[in-house]
Chains A and B, each alone.
Chain A
Amino acid sequence: GQQLNQSPQSMFIQEGEDVSMNCTSSSIFNTWLWYKQDPGEGPVLLIALYKAGELTSNGRLTAQFGITRKDSFLNISASIPSDVGIYFCAGQPPPGSGYALNFGKGTSLLVTP
């Protein structure tokens, strides 16, 4: 599968700031997922999106499924130190196009108190 284009590669922000990261693909997806991975752990699902245009929130996190089905973004509002980690976008292609989740390279987030 393809590796998605995720940006920025890293962010270094102060506590309380808002964060935005996005992901683009050359092909369409049926599902967009956003994961957070802490050191020594597997990815943990934050938000799942199933429909083009869908905007979904989970606490301070908000994500959107792009209209073209080739992009998605994740926003984190009022960041706190425990938001530190690596955030990955992942897309699943339509049925018949494979079973794999295609991941981005990740956005490393550092938050200073």
Chain B
Amino acid sequence: ETGVTQSPTHLIKTRGQQVTLRCSSQSGHNTVSWYQQALGQGPQFIFQYYREEENGRGNFPPRFSGLQFPNYSSELNVNALELDDSALYLCASSLQGGGLGNYGYTFGSGTRLTVV
């Protein structure tokens, strides 16, 4: 059973650029959630995808968007990057839609994004 894998591990982008982060969910999981973790903070929920549709969103602007594919892998896209977007982006997969217990949540190691 493979865990959650994220790519790339590190990324440096210039303000105003666009970025795509990728996540392969754990085998057997159908739900993917994305979190942003700023330095010294806990993870903040961006959004969740269940069966290829967004089914929950945190307090992030529309320039943060995502996709989930039929194999349950996922992408996080961020347009018009700002300096404050610099953070660790975590992907977590689970089996259910997130409404009934998250004991199945498995996090990836994250992508460290630096915006300069």
Contacts and interface: CB of A to CB of B under 8 A. Distances in A.
Interface of A: 1, 3-4, 6, 30-31, 33, 35, 40-45, 48, 50, 88, 90, 92, 95-96, 98-106
Interface residues of B, number: 29
Interface of B: 4, 33, 35, 40-45, 48, 55-56, 58-59, 90, 92, 97-103, 105-110
Contacts, number: 80
B44 A103 contact: yes
A40 B9 CA distance: 9
A4 B44 CA distance: 11
B58 A101 contact: no
A36 B4 CA distance: 16
A99 B41 contact: no
30 contacts: A1-B58, A6-B42, A31-B101, A33-B102, A35-B107, A40-B109, A41-B109, A42-B4, A42-B107, A42-B109, A45-B105, A45-B106, A48-B102, A50-B101, A50-B103, A95-B99, A98-B56, A99-B97, A99-B98, A99-B99, A100-B33, A100-B48, A101-B43, A101-B102, A101-B105, A103-B42, A103-B43, A105-B42, A106-B40, A106-B42
B107 A43 contact: yes
A64 B47 CA distance: 28
A1 B107 contact: no
Given A1-B45, A101-B105, A103-B43, A42 B97 contact: no
